Amino acid sequence: MLGRHCVIAAAVLAVFALAAIERPLGAQLRPQPVGELPSDVALRLTLRKLGSIGTFMQTTAHPDDEDNALLAMLSHGEGMRTVLVTATRGDGGQNEIGPELFQSLGVLRTEELQAAHRFDGTEQYFTRAIDFGYSFSVEESLQKWGHDEILGDFVRHIRTIRPDVIAGFLCGGEGGGQHHQASALLTVEAFRAAADPARYPEQIRDGLRPWQAGRVFCTDLSTFGARARQTAPTPDLLTVHPAAFDPLLGRTFTELGIEARSMHKCQGTSQLLPLPGAAFARTYRLRDSVIGEPGIAPKTLYDGIDTTLAGLARFTSSPPRPLTEALHKLGAHVTAAQTAAAGGSPDTSIAPLATGLMALRTLRATLGSLALAEISRYEIDLRLARKESQFEQALAIAQGLRLEVLADDGRVASGQPVKLTVIAGNNGRADVRVKSVAIKGFLTDEASGQPATCAGLVKAGAALSCAVETRVGAVPLSTPYWTPRKDAARYDFDPAAPFGAPFRPSPFTATFQFSIGGADVSIGKTVEFRYDDIIAGEKRMELQVVPPYAVAVSPEIAVIPLHAAARGGFRCRVGYRIRSSRIPAHPPPSRRPARIDAAEGDRRSDDAGDSSGVRDGRWRSGAAGDRAAWRDGLAHLR
């Protein structure tokens, strides 16, 4: 109760953006994401990945718990696939840069994780656990999350990702929120459970297969603070030092990890980059293993695990000779491409890459005829499919391709007209042909079943550009696919979304088909909207699907005395944008609706309503259109 007063509170749709930080004149944003490095460097980093089949999975409780330096070292330095599975989205934390809290904060922290991974090169997934705030015990965390459910999520991720090595967060201890220790405990338990087909059999029925990783670690408490000087080393401890300098990246992996970590801005992480000589290393404790000596940490995380292309033969107990010969030839093609890229311009690697891609496709096509067990064939082909995509990416970089698919609006509604610009730029020294561009997420034409696209020859140093006018198809709204439950600190996931992905994948994509070096190459691109910011420069966003019309009421919060003599002349101002219908808007607090006619494409503000006739109680406002209704959440609260 607020005495004889009422509060009008408008809940607005959150727009998540990193706050601009006031900087001295002449200051510049210094971090450079790895994805923005010059093409020759990007090619050589891609070739590192092409030569490795290793997969590393780290698990944590919250965003910012991850070891970014280690992830960067394994991903960029050793070419492995690195995946981070974060139990929660950090929903229960604080926000030092904006008003977002709870689920909105979880969205913001997810965005910050993705920004960090532009530096450390890591894929991101989540479980259904909710960060419900400070946890006083592991038991409390597991009880509120649901032990079996979140364990099942970790098992699902292990069976999907199929990592060689897993590392969780804190092994134990009483300090700090116990989500950290709970996530590590579940990770260690999932290490064995993922290999047991009797555990979570519904996942097996859905098409997943059991998987036994090689070893699992947790992060030892000696990593942090004074404990690092107080704990005597034991045989099960392994300290990983990421301080090596990478000449391709121009920095150490420690420096790259700190740059990645600085993206966690809403948590107040330091924005200062490390000075020369700065180093930090985490210590990991071996908790379980099916290779090596029990209880004895290996010399390196991947000691005894062959991560070369030839190492794919380890997935069969008796590899047939045609398989081993094909794998060695495949490795030779990658080595030849690496040598060519290191000694000349990027396009000198096109010939070995194209030959290697065609050899890989031949191997995949003949796997069924080799004397292989079905599970061996599955494991080998799963990894070869990833290599095929990396071959295509490397060829596109070596050719000097720059691909763009840009829309004229970043927030769109189903049925809305959209203009697309499709560009294929060729910075290479040889001509390249665009065979086709297939665009998804938009209404199709009757003849081709696809929006009109472009094809043709792209001369060296030139670009092919096509304009496409179409309409947005019937696609879901860009809302979080995770919904909090009322009976547990756990989300329900929309089954239509990839399990645990950061967000729903954009439905707006384009697939370019090229012929490079005699090999067919397919490259996917997400449709984007770009705009400029006077402080930050060019900014880009994926297209966000919004309702056909939206209303925002100002002021968002108002206190209105009920006494007529004190009420005065309070008025509401309504701002709206209409995308695909003609609607009347009915804003509060007036009891009499105010009609505002708006045509498609309108975007303006109007005064509507006054405080006369307002009574104590609860009021709702919204907008009604020809085909739908939308409420902005404006409420008159007691």
Specify the range with the lowest mean pLDDT, choosing from 104-118, 434-448, 471-485, 554-568. 554-568
Confidence band, pLDDT 50/70/90 cuts, at residue 344: confident
Confidence band, pLDDT 50/70/90 cuts, at residue 586: very low
The DSSP 8-state label assigned to residue 73 in this structure reads I
Per-residue confidence (pLDDT) for residue 479, from 0 to 100: 93
Residue 177 clears pLDDT 90, i.e. is over it: no
| pLDDT cut 70: percent of the chain above it | 78
Ramachandran bin of 147, using left for φ above 0, alpha for ψ from -120 to 50, beta for the remaining angles: alpha
Q: Take residue 299 and report the two structure tokens written for it.
A: 């010399």
Looking at per-residue pLDDT, the higher value among 564 and 237 belongs to: 237
pLDDT in tens, 321-341: 999 999 999 999 999 999 999
Per-residue confidence (pLDDT) for residue 43, from 0 to 100: 95
Closest CA to 379 of 315, 424, 296, 317: 315
List strand residue ranges (DSSP E) for 276-377, in order: 282-289
* C-alpha distances in Å from residue 201, one per residue of 83, 172, 226, 498, 546: 24, 30, 45, 19, 38
Confidence band, pLDDT 50/70/90 cuts, at residue 578: low
| Three-state secondary structure of 176-213 | CCCHHHHHHHHHHHHHHHCCCCCCCHHHHHCCCCCCCC
What mean pLDDT value characterizes the chain? 84
Looking at per-residue pLDDT, the higher value among 328 and 535 belongs to: 328
Residue 16 clears pLDDT 60, i.e. is over it: no
Confidence band, pLDDT 50/70/90 cuts, at residue 632: very low
Rounded to an integer, what distance in angstroms lies between the CA atom of residue 185 and that of residue 170? 9
Other CB atoms within a 10 A radius of the CB of residue 498 amount to 15
Looking at per-residue pLDDT, the higher value among 145 and 600 belongs to: 145
Residue 616 clears pLDDT 80, i.e. is over it: no
Residues 6+ apart with CB under 8 A from 342: 44
Confidence band, pLDDT 50/70/90 cuts, at residue 17: very low
Per-residue confidence (pLDDT) for residue 604, from 0 to 100: 55
| Across 225-230, average pLDDT | 55
pTM of the shown model: 0.86
| Across 232-238, average pLDDT | 90
Residue 603 clears pLDDT 80, i.e. is over it: no
| Across 618-634, average pLDDT | 45
| pLDDT cut 90: percent of the chain above it | 69
Confidence band, pLDDT 50/70/90 cuts, at residue 62: very high
Per-residue confidence (pLDDT) for residue 175, from 0 to 100: 65
Rounded to an integer, what distance in angstroms lies between the CA atom of residue 451 and that of residue 437? 10
pLDDT in tens, 271-316: 888 888 888 899 999 999 999 999 999 999 999 999 999 999 999 9
Specify the range with the lowest mean pLDDT, choosing from 72-86, 185-199, 433-447, 490-504. 433-447
Residue 376 clears pLDDT 80, i.e. is over it: yes
Per-residue confidence (pLDDT) for residue 404, from 0 to 100: 96
Query: Is the distance from CB of 147 to CB of 87 less than 8 angstroms?
Result: no
Per-residue confidence (pLDDT) for residue 273, from 0 to 100: 85
Confidence band, pLDDT 50/70/90 cuts, at residue 499: very high
Other CB atoms within a 10 A radius of the CB of residue 485 amount to 13
The secondary element (H helix, E strand) that includes residue 465 is strand 463-471
Per-residue confidence (pLDDT) for residue 44, from 0 to 100: 95
Report the Cα 222 to chain-centroid distance in Å.
31
Q: For the chain, how long is the longest CA-to-CA vector?
A: 95
Specify the range with the lowest mean pLDDT, choosing from 3-17, 156-170, 246-260, 561-575. 3-17
